């Protein structure tokens, strides 16, 4: 028996190790696509910024490399890999998850946290537009070296690749995702080999490991040093994706992949580019592609293009997930969400978001036309997200982890200072392209603010004319209307008041069903709600039952499925004898509103663009009765 148990234990350990290795392997393909393509342009742009049109000196190369090394170690490794990956919301990460975690720690919705979460989310969407544009452009630009005659075809070819990428989103990413990890493994191995093969060009480049070179460069170059820091920040873009993708792979596989494979490959490549430029300063034109002989240039361009497409796919998928979270948290109207996999609930497609991203990406490519021009727009989006994450992390460490405020500040303050420095450095590029993500982020913030404000005003207005539920029940008990068989489910956001659809049913049809359910769907601050807490039942009277369905912000609110689960609680639910009553509001601008006229019209437009509640809650259309009402706002 002892031998059998030992064998079983070894088998379980083997399965665990295999599963862990698979997760770490998969994380290389999905999590690190963005940061893994930074060597294509980051070192080049940083040295150009430091040289400021002058010669590329040894001090410049060593100073830039030292900044790159310690940016990767402090921002990505220390802040995201070692710290923020531990701040998970039931296994989920990202700006909105961190915001929800902070709200839970404080026990209430906080305006500062809400604002930081919205800013971080809006800037991530901006990043989702810039990443495909700059990544694919930088890869295709290798044609300028391989075949200068094809230079004029760089932008058209980039557009073709991007249109193809966004066109296949509706088909799902399962088949493509299966190829992500092997391609990215080859990509990172290529980065490491290329870099290692050129360090011997000038072994003195390894001195850049000493942080003194970074500090000396910043201290002696004034504003140019700050501008250079903004370019250096390009090496850590994609670091925020580590946290956003936490739910897909888990903390330890992501950490293991970074520390043992991705980080060493990136460092070797940056050192290799630095050594090449020290030995051949003219290579700064495009040091990455100069790492290979001409005969291998086209294969490397092909591999780089594949890697940038994967990096683009990662942020597009992240944008879909983030918008879905925002919808569930009530920050945006209901957009159509399509599921592209029968086995993976996280593989979703949002048609409107996909079209918005495609239009934005194509505009960026057409407007900037080169990766160098677009680099100025890139850093500000990510640095803003990182500042927001750092501040929210302070609240989580202080309140949720129960650290003393001084200890929490001592831990987080260095990261906030570094992030603010990078933000200031990128803000200097305001007129070189940084205005693009700031404009988009501001527009997204206005949309979210308008939706939340309009929804709040609408609720307050309807409350003035609504009747408390208990008052109606007492009235119906005294003078009951005609009773018809079956169950009627009335959807409402506030079960304490009579749903509009119920009032109209009584007023116009003058009937009451035998069983009436006042149904409220709530979204929790948790990513997923346990089935045991999914349904809440309260028998209000003989004919009225109050039902509350709870879903996490990462879940799809499937009302019929949740109601079927309520049978376990003793509630007799039969779909074929149940009718769902849904109110459809037609909004009109009021002569005197609580919002400016432009905001009224924006809120009405957002309401009209919202997905139908029937589809959103997966209610069979044949069981729905819609009641229309007009409301001024």
Two structure tokens written together for 173: 């990413």
**What is the per-residue pLDDT across 525-534, written as a single tens digit (0 to 9) for each?**
778 888 888 9
pLDDT (tens digit per residue) in 359-416: 999 999 998 998 888 877 778 888 998 999 999 999 999 999 999 999 999 999 999 9
Quote the percentage of the chain above a pLDDT of 70: 94
pLDDT in tens, 219-243: 988 899 999 999 999 999 888 777 8
Average pLDDT in the 164-171 region?
83
Torsion of CA 553, 390, 387, 80, to 10 degrees: -80
Longest dimension (CA), the chain: 95
Cα(126)–Cα(104) distance, integer angstroms: 27
3-state secondary structure of 64: helix
Beta-ladder partners of 519: 491, 547
For the chain, give every residue range classified as CATH 1.20.1740.10.
Answer: 25-452
CA-to-CA dists, residue 575 to 145, 522, 556, 559, 563, angstroms: 65, 21, 19, 11, 9
As a whole number of angstroms, the distance between CA 371 and CA 365 comes to: 9
Q: Is 111 helix (H, G, I), strand (E, B) or coil?
A: helix
Q: Residue 632: what are its φ and ψ, rounded to 5°?
A: -95, 145
**CATH code linked to domain 25-452:** 1.20.1740.10
* Chain-centre distance for alpha carbon 34: 13
- Are 66 and 208 a contacting pair, CB within 8 Å? yes
Instruction: List % helix, strand, coil for the chain (3-state, nearest 5).
Output: 70, 10, 20
Burial (Cβ within 10 Å: 0-12, 13-18, ≥19) of residue 123: buried
DSSP line for 306-365: HHHHHHHHHHHHHHHHHHHHHHHTTSS-----EE--SS-TT-EE-HHHHHHHHHHHHHHH
Coil, strand or helix at 558: coil
The answer to whether residues 629 and 504 touch, using CB atoms and an 8 Å cutoff, is: yes
For 89-147, write each residue's pLDDT tens digit. 877 788 888 898 888 888 888 888 988 988 888 888 888 888 899 889 988 988 888 88
Among 62-71, 178-187, 469-478, 483-492, which is the least confidently predicted range?
178-187
d(CA 132, CA 214): 30
Q: What is the pLDDT of residues 303-335, one digit of tens each?
A: 999 888 888 877 887 788 788 888 888 899 988
Give pLDDT tens digits for 496-550: 888 888 988 888 888 999 999 999 999 887 788 888 889 988 889 989 999 999 9
For residue 468, count CB atoms less than 10 angstroms from its CB and return exposed for 0-12, middle for 13-18, buried for 19 or more.
exposed
Residue 432: CB partners within 8 Å, gap ≥ 6? Answer: 373, 376, 377
Measured CA to CA, the distance from residue 232 to residue 214 in angstroms comes to 11
What's the DSSP call for residue 89? B
């Amino acid at each position: 028996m002892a031998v059998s148990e030992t064998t079983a234990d070894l088998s379980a350990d083997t399965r665990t190790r295999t599963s862990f290795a698979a997760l770490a392997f998969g994380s290389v393909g999905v999590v690190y696509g963005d940061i893994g393509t930074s060597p294509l342009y980051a070192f080049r742009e940083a040295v150009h910024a430091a040289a400021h049109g002058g010669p590329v000196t040894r001090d410049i190369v060593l100073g830039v490399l030292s900044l790159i090394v310690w940016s990767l170690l402090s921002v990505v490794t220390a802040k995201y890999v070692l710290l923020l990956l531990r701040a998970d919301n039931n296994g989920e990460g990202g700006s909105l998850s961190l915001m929800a975690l902070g709200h839970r720690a404080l026990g209430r919705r906080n305006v500062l946290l809400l604002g930081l979460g919205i800013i971080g989310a809006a800037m991530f969407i901006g990043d989702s537009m810039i990443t495909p544009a700059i990544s694919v452009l930088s890869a295709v630009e290798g044609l300028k070296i391989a075949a200068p005659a094809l230079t004029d075809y760089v932008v058209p070819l980039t557009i073709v690749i991007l249109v193809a990428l966004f066109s296949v989103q509706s088909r799902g990413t399962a088949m493509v995702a299966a190829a992500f990890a092997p391609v990215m493994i080859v990509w990172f191995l290529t980065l490491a080999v290329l870099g290692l093969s050129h360090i011997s060009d000038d072994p003195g480049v390894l001195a850049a490991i000493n942080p003194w070179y970074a500090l000396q460069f910043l201290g002696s170059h004034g504003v140019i040093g700050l501008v250079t820091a903004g370019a250096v920040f390009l090496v850590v873009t994609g670091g925020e994706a580590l946290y956003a993708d936490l739910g897909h792979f888990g903390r330890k596989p992501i950490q293991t992949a970074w520390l043992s494979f991705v980080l060493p490959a990136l460092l070797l490549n940056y050192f290799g580019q630095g050594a090449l430029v020290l030995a051949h300063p003219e290579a700064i034109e495009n040091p990455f592609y100069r790492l290979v002989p001409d005969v291998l240039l086209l294969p490397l361009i092909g591999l780089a293009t594949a890697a940038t497409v994967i990096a683009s796919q990662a942020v597009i998928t992240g944008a879909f997930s983030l918008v879905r979270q925002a919808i569930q948290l009530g920050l945006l109207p209901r957009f159509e969400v399509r599921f592209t996999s029968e086995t993976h609930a996280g593989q979703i497609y949002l048609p409107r978001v996909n079209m918005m991203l495609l239009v934005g990406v194509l505009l960026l490519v057409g407007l900037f036309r080169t990766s160098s021009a677009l680099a100025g727009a890139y850093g500000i989006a990510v640095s803003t997200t990182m500042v927001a994450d750092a501040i929210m992390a302070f609240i989580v460490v202080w309140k949720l982890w129960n650290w003393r405020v001084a200890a929490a500040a001592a831990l987080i303050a260095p990261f906030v200072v570094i992030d603010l420095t990078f933000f200031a450095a990128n803000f200097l590029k305001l007129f070189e392209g940084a205005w693009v993500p700031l404009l988009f982020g501001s527009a997204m913030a206005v949309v979210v603010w308008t939706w939340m404000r309009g929804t709040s005003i609408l609720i307050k207005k309807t409350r003035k004319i609504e009747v408390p539920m208990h008052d109606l029940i007492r009235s119906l008990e005294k003078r009951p209307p005609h009773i018809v068989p079956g169950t009627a489910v009335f959807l409402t956001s506030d079960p304490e008041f009579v749903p509009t659809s119920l009032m109209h049913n009584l007023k116009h049809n003058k009937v009451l069903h035998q069983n009436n359910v006042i149904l409220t769907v709530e979204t929790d601050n948790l990513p997923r709600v346990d089935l045991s807490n999914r349904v809440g039942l309260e028998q209000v009277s003989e004919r009225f039952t109050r039902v509350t369905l709870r879903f996490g912000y990462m879940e799809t609110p499937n009302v019929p499925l949740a109601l079927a689960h309520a049978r376990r609680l003793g509630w007799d639910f039969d779909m074929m004898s149940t009718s769902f009553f849904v109110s459809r509001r037609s909004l009109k601008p009021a002569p005197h509103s609580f919002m400016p006229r432009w905001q009224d019209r924006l809120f009405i437009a957002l309401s009209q663009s919202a997905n139908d509640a029937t589809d959103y809650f997966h209610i069979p259309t044949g069981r729905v009765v819609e009641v229309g009402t007009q409301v001024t706002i």
